[in-house]
């Protein structure tokens, strides 16, 4: 990798710390996660031992400052790690992604010092977090949410339900969005930190999904759930700001997951085409196959450049909204296209679970749906370029 890194443009040239985390994440994915992937996919459950190993590796608090027991790394380092984990298993990739780019970042950007002191050390070392925004009737229209928060003395009482909550089975700390004034629209939305053992809180139905099956996706119920006032994240009535800004960063994380999926599918295909023989030679020697491989590699590199660029811009304090939308939109298109082509090149073997590419194909589909559909990304991009 040294030679490749030296040839990269400044945008993608990595520091020594970034290289170290990238390589450590790759080794962890290959040696620890890979042997568990098939069983986790079949059982639709993340291995509990693997959860602890993510914490032991320091991958659940990459960007959390050392004073809060985190790794003291950068946003870009999180992106590199998510990519490498997703190259082996997208379920493990999104497990780490939600923790770092959504939950931890929300606490870092909007939490009071008291909230940071109480929760960031837990999130960095032992407790999984979940991000609870979507509801049955509010997907792309996220701020049409119906979950309410009523002030009562020294606490709020939350009522409602949340859908499609990633990491819900494993999580102990939940960032929940509710409205204190439904008539105020988005200006009534407030973010709350809810612990799993709070009275009135429960995790309900786990979804049976097409892809990223080991990643838990559940409904969350709030039935007269009491939340202390000091557990408001950010300002009362400013939860929309927490949601929007955090999701902008999260979309870059999904972009990293998607290029990981695409790279994993290409890696498997390159190996297979060199081994598979037809008409007396490996199919990688046929020009038609070579052209498909070349297109796949080119697609992945364009997606990687978009994701890395958005991450660098975020890290440098620049306005990255358009670039994050482009990165998520394009990388999800690429992941689906590349993994589909991988299935084609594997032929009949690509359609069976004994070989890895059918899983990459299934896992890729979610990229065009969660944390903002492809149509919503296109809407954002169009508005910004037409300004």
Residues belonging to the active site: 371
Angle at 347 between CA 342 and CA 352, to 5 degrees: 85
Q: Residue 73: left (phi > 0), alpha (psi -120 to 50), or beta?
A: beta
Q: Which two tokens stand for residue 114?
A: 């008291």
Q: What do you get for the CA distance between the two ends of the chain, in Å?
A: 41
What is the secondary structure of 240-275 as a DSSP string? HHHHHHHHHHHHHHHHHHHHHHHHHHHHHHHHHHHH
Residues 6+ apart with CB under 8 A from 288: none
Q: Which residue(s) pair with 32 in the sheet?
A: none
Q: Which two tokens stand for residue 266?
A: 């290409």
Reference 54, options 75, 89, 28, 83; nearest CA is 28
DSSP state at residue 12 = T
Q: Which two tokens stand for residue 318?
A: 């620049």
CA–CA dist 110, 124 (Å, integer)? 17
C-alpha 364: how far from its chain's center? 12
Residue 347 contacts residue 353 (beta carbons within 8 Å): no
Angle at 85 between CA 79 and CA 86, to 5 degrees: 85
Residue 51 contacts residue 106 (beta carbons within 8 Å): no
Q: Which two tokens stand for residue 9?
A: 């443009």
Q: Which residue(s) pair with 221 in the sheet?
A: 161, 202
């Amino acid at each position: 990798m040294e030679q490749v890194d030296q040839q990269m443009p400044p945008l993608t040239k990595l520091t020594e710390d970034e290289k170290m985390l990238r390589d450590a994440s790759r080794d962890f994915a290959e040696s620890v996660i890979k042997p568990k992937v098939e069983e986790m996919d079949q059982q639709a459950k993340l291995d509990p031992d693997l959860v602890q190993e993510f914490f032991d590796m320091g991958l659940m608090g990459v960007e959390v400052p050392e004073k809060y027991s985190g790794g003291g790394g950068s946003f870009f380092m999180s992106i590199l790690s998510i990519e490498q984990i997703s190259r082996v298993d997208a379920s493990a990739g999104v497990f780490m992604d939600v923790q770092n780019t959504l939950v931890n970042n929300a606490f870092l950007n909007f939490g009071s010092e008291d909230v940071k002191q109480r929760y960031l050390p837990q999130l960095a070392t032992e407790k999984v977090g979940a991000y609870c925004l979507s509801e049955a009737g509010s997907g792309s229209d996220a701020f049409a949410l119906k979950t309410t928060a009523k002030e009562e003395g020294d606490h709020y009482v939350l009522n409602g339900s949340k859908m499609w909550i990633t990491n819900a089975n494993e999580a102990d700390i939940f960032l929940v969005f509710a409205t204190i004034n439904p008539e105020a629209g988005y200006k009534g939305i407030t973010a709350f930190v809810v612990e799993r053992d709070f009275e009135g809180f429960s995790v309900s139905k786990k979804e049976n999904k097409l892809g990223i099956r080991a990643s838990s996706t559940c409904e969350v119920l709030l039935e007269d759930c009491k939340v202390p006032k000091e557990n408001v994240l950010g300002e009362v009535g400013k939860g929309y700001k927490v949601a929007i800004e955090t999701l902008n960063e999260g979309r870059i994380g999904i972009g990293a997951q998607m290029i990981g999926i695409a790279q994993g599918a290409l890696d498997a295909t390159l190996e297979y085409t060199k081994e598979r023989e037809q008409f007396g030679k490996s199919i990688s020697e046929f020009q038609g196959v070579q052209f498909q491989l070349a297109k796949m590699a080119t697609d992945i590199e364009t997606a990687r450049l978009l994701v890395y660029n958005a991450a660098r811009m975020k890290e440098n304090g620049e306005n990255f909204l358009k670039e994050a939308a482009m990165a998520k939109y394009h990388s999800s298109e690429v992941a689906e296209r590349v993994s589909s082509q991988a299935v084609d090149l594997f032929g009949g073997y690509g359609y069976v679970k004994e070989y890895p590419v059918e899983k990459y194909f299934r896992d890729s589909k979610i990229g065009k749906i969660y944390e903002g559909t492809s149509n919503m990304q296109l809407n954002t991009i169009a508005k910004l370029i037409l300004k």
